[in-house]
């Protein structure tokens, strides 16, 4: 039977896929944040934490969509 929620085995430790997607999303958001900061995107009256949260949610959603 097909089990849509499979755990990932890393050296005997079972991790939920969402945890790994979140970790990868954090790394992607940090890289994008550095790029946006160097390009002057945050000089406007844009709240950095809200933009970073939106980027995280979008990256995690896209990763779960394309990987799963």
pTM of the model: 0.75
Start-to-end C-alpha separation, the chain? 17
Per-residue model confidence as pLDDT tens digits over 29-38: 999 999 988 9
- Please, which residues bridge with residue 66 across strands? none
Q: What is the largest CA-CA distance in the chain?
A: 53
Q: Name the pLDDT band for 65 (thresholds 50, 70, 90).
A: confident
Q: Which residues have CB under 8 Å from 60's CB, separation 6+?
A: 18, 21, 22, 25
User: CB of 24 within 8 A of CB of 56?
Assistant: no
Per-residue model confidence as pLDDT tens digits over 8-36: 777 888 888 888 889 999 999 999 999 98
């Amino acid at each position: 039977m097909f089990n849509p929620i499979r755990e990932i085995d890393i050296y005997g430790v079972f991790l939920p896929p969402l945890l790994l997607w979140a970790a990868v999303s954090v790394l992607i958001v940090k890289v994008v944040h550095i790029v946006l900061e160097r390009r002057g995107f945050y000089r406007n009256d844009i709240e950095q934490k809200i933009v970073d949260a939106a980027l995280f949610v979008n990256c995690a959603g896209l990763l779960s969509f394309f990987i799963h």
